[in-house]
Amino acid sequence: MPHVVFIAPRFAENTNRYVAAFASLASAGVRTSVVSGDPDTAIPTALRPHLAAHYRVNDPMNAADITTAVRAISRGVGPVDRLTGALEQLQMPLAEVRAALDIEGMLPEIARRFRDKDRMKEVLRARGVPVARSLLVGSKEGLRTALSELGYPAIVKPQAGLGARSTFRVAHDADVDALFAQGIAPSTDIPLQVEEFIRAREYTCETVTVRGVPVWRSGTRYLPSPLETLENPWMQYCVLLPREEEETDWTRFHDTNGAALSALFGDAANTAAGTALTHMEWFLREDGSSLVNEVGARPPGVGIMPLMSIAYDTSFFAAWARLIAKDEFVPKKRVRAAGAAFFRGQGQGTRVASVKGIERAVADAGDALVEMRSPKVGQPRADGYEGEGYAYVRSETTEGAKEALLALVQNVRIVYS
């Protein structure tokens, strides 16, 4: 009977979807234990009977705390066969715990290839996978030298970033001075990656691998790119998963995707480390060439898991849980297009002052609207590009999904104060 330990830093709504997915495998002979920073009283009542154990720690992102918890769970429940978590920031700590406790799965050297974006590009370049030119710098002088080599515009971002957070486009020397004035500067302890700016459309490729073998792929397009969204706080943000599975921009990228994953998994591909759902962001240039941007060895964010569930008429939370617990995945056929709209406001305030256009947006989206969480007056301003609310849509055609997304983002207006 496989025993899985899932790290749930907090029993938040999205995290509970993963907990529920693993808990549902009890009928398939899988035991699930959970490590969290929350007390057991925060576990949803319906899930409690289906969990083998819960262990509370002070810092659920800390490898030492997780190690203590997993050792205790092993003594109380039994040996742990899989240790997992959905967050990007957890992947290195989880790898360190696996190494310390001899748990099968991704170990630190492989996890670092996914988490450390400079190491990632180094590995991909060595295998001939196309990526943007970049340099890792550890000082202000090093940053200016890198910019003189790569040229303007360029991207400055963390070595171990998350999405486009703390990512900046610099186009002039004055932009660099502005970063320094904000206290954003590389150091030996906290280096920054400087990367050439790529003018291209931005896509994703989600891939399921079982012991290193790709068995299924999907993909989305960002509208606009995450960086553009962060640079323009007034922009609404959408993710589109098209209806078509045949010859498309996405399918033409599959060979590059496979080469990149083979390089990153390396010799560990045919082990449990190579059983994963990966999230790859990539660029498509006007001349048809593609570049790998970043890769995460964990489920995608920005609503892509719900979108895949809609488009493939299945639960991808449940599918990922079964994949990790049992090395099993049953590919599904795409039956519709899906999309997500994220509502973001205008103004410089810290709270939502007004929300307009919700009723019109719902009416114009019509039957395509699947789920919607409307922003509320008084709600704190979000610190990420997902915004204060969202909506998911579906359609039998890609164009239908685009029209529904347009109806949402054209009508909903949020103002901060």
Task: Give the distance, in angstroms, between the CA of residue 125 and the centroid of all CA atoms in the same chain.
Answer: 23
**Which pLDDT value is given to residue 263?**
97
Helix, strand, or coil (residue 37): coil
Helices and strands (H and E) in the chain: how many: 14, 18
Which pLDDT does position 105 carry in this prediction?
96
Q: What is the pLDDT of residue 92?
A: 96
49: CB partners within 8 A, 6+ apart: none
Q: Does domain 201-416 have CATH number 3.30.530.20?
A: no
User: What are 47's two structure tokens?
Assistant: 């899930």
**How far, CA to CA in Å, does 203 sit from each of 184, 231, 239?**
28, 19, 9
pLDDT along the chain (417 residues), means of 10: 96 95 95 97 95 97 98 97 96 98 96 93 96 89 87 84 69 87 87 88 96 96 74 77 88 96 94 96 93 95 96 97 96 96 88 94 96 93 83 97 94 92
Distance from C-alpha of 288 to C-alpha of 73, rounded to nearest angstrom: 51
pLDDT of 335: 96
All structural domains of the chain with their residue ranges = 3-104, 133-196, 201-416
Domain at 133-196: CATH architecture = 2-Layer Sandwich (3.30)
- The values of phi and psi at residue 327, to 5°, are 60, 35
Give start and end residues of each alpha helix (H) in 127-236: 140-150, 173-181, 226-231
Q: Which residues contact 354 (CB under 8 A, 6 or more apart)?
A: 377, 413, 414, 415
List pLDDT tens digits, range 261-295.
Answer: 999 999 998 899 999 999 999 999 989 999 999 99
In this prediction, residue 109 carries a pLDDT of 96
DSSP 242: -
pLDDT at 161: 58
Q: Residue 227 has what pLDDT?
A: 64
Amino acid, single-letter form, for residue 119: R
CATH number belonging to domain 3-104? 3.40.50.20
Looking at residue 162, what is its pLDDT? 58
- The pTM of the full predicted model, rounded to 2 decimals, is 0.91
Position 171 scores a pLDDT of: 87
Distance (Å, whole) CA 217 – CA 229: 26
